[in-house]
A and B are shown apart, each in its own frame.
Chain A
Amino acid sequence: MSKSRFFYVTYIRTSPEKLWQALTAPEFTRQYWGGVHQESDWKVGGDWKLMIPDGRVGDSGKIIEIDPPRKLVVTWENQFMPELKAEGPSRMTFLIEPRDEHVVKLTLTHEMDRPDSKLIEGVGAGWPELLASMKSLVETGAAFPGDDKWPEGV
């Protein structure tokens, strides 16, 4: 079966521990990820939810693999757009690898076992901006202006 897949790599001047915090801790994600935070017990098999600031669940799934500060794999099913929810679960992986001194490589893979997935197309359009804003937050202390707010009408 052909797959839909989005793949992105960025290098960040930080430590794996700080990058893990930036990707998972509510006080960080709220600053660059449209005000969202994740809710999870962060254990394999546990629920994972991406919470929109107004209280809706944006996306949800299960923790497939978790190895702080190296690897996180979750299933990811959209919950607020019927057309995307109908596609069922995708799978998102963060891989964090220390490289040279104070440099960390982040590899994101977001994939689904179906061709031409609208969800993968959508997240693929969003991830580069989101991760660029996250890199700015980690390296400069400030994400992009406005990235702490959920877009109106969505």
Chain B
Amino acid sequence: MSSDELIVPPDVVYVTYIKASSERIWDALTSSEMAGKMFFGVTAESDWTQGAQWVYFRDGVKDVHGEVLISDKPRKLKLSWRVGGSPEMSAIPPAFITYDIEPVGDVTRLTMTQHQPKPIPRKFYEGGLRGWPVIMSILKSVLETGEGFVVTMEPPK
């Protein structure tokens, strides 16, 4: 199986539990400072209201971006997710990212679902599968300890 083979991938779902309120998690997901920690150096721009555009800039250049499709603070944030960067990356059809935030007892469950309805090269699906556990683990650490960490990721091969 080539990593360039086109597939309509299954949803990538990642569930974690965080010792923080729904509001703090929402604020983190929509904060430029937190985006910089989760996505290693980006800055975020959006007012995160329904219908708004959102952009992650990397070194001043538009990187990942899309539209805010659902903004139900502090429960659900759904974004269209278009990758920027190289022409090969920009040609990937947009994915849909949904964050569901639910209080469970004394903690809060955060579920990230990445849905890709169109065929994409397998390597980009595998990149998401590898990347989301890193991103969500950093978010949890920052909210609970004030400190994140860096994990060096290789680009999709």
Contacts and interface: CB of A to CB of B under 8 A. Distances in A.
On whether the two chains bind one another, the answer is yes
Interface of A: 8-13, 99-100, 102-103, 105, 128-129, 132-133, 135-136, 139-140, 144-146
Contacts of A145: 105-107
B50 to A, nearest CB: 29
Given A10-B133, A144-B107, A145-B106, A99 B152 contact: yes
Nearest to A103: B149
A146 B144 contact: no
A13 B149 contact: yes
A132 to B, nearest CB: 4
Interface string B112-152: 00000000000000000000011001101100110101111
Nearest to A143: B19
A136 B104 CA distance: 16
Contacts of B17: 128-129, 132-133, 144
Contacts, number: 61
B42 interface: no
A8 B17 CA distance: 13
A11 B133 contact: yes
B151 A99 contact: yes
B108 to A, nearest CB: 10
28 contacts: A10-B133, A10-B137, A11-B137, A11-B149, A11-B151, A12-B137, A13-B145, A99-B151, A99-B152, A100-B149, A100-B150, A100-B151, A103-B149, A128-B15, A129-B17, A132-B16, A132-B107, A132-B140, A133-B17, A135-B140, A135-B141, A139-B141, A139-B144, A140-B19, A140-B144, A144-B107, A146-B105, A146-B106
Contacts of A11: 133-134, 137-138, 149, 151
Chain A at the B interface: SS class: mixed
A133 B106 CA distance: 11
Contacts of A102: 149
B55 interface: no
Contacts of B107: 132, 144-145
Contact of B19 (A13, A103, A128, A136): A136
A38 B104 CA distance: 27
Contacts of B145: 13, 139-140
A118 B143 CA distance: 34
B18 interface: yes
